[in-house]
Amino acid sequence: MDYQRIAYLSECLTPERKELFERVLEDRTRYLTVVLEDIFQPQNASAVLRSVDCFGVQDVHVIENRNEFTVDREVAMGASKWLSVHKYTGEEHNSLNAIRHLREQGYRIVATTPHEGDTNLEEFDLEKGKCALIFGTELTGISEVVQNEADEFLKIPMHGFTESFNISVSAAIILHHLTFLMRGNPAIDWKLSEEEKAAIKLSWIRRTLKRSELLEQRYEELKKEGKL
The predicted structure's pLDDT at residue 72: 52
Q: For the residues 41-62, what does the mean pLDDT come to?
A: 91
DSSP single-letter state for residue 82: G
Max Cα distance, the chain (Å): 70
Quote the CA–CA distance of 6 and 166 in Å, as a whole number: 40
- Domain extents in the chain: 3-8+29-201
DSSP H stretches of helix in the chain: 3-10, 15-27, 42-54, 73-76, 94-104, 144-149, 167-183, 194-208, 212-224
Burial of 101 (0-12, 13-18, 19+ CB in 10 A): middle
Proportion of the chain above pLDDT 70, given as a percent:
94
The predicted structure's pLDDT at residue 38: 87
Question: What number does CATH give the domain 3-8+29-201?
Answer: 3.40.1280.10
Q: For the residues 111-124, what does the mean pLDDT come to?
A: 84
Question: Going by DSSP bridges, is the β-strand pair 152-155/108-112 parallel, antiparallel, or unpaired?
Answer: parallel
| Mean pLDDT for all residues in the chain | 90
Which tens digits make up the pLDDT trace of 135-190? 988 777 889 999 999 999 999 988 888 877 888 999 999 999 999 999 999 999 99
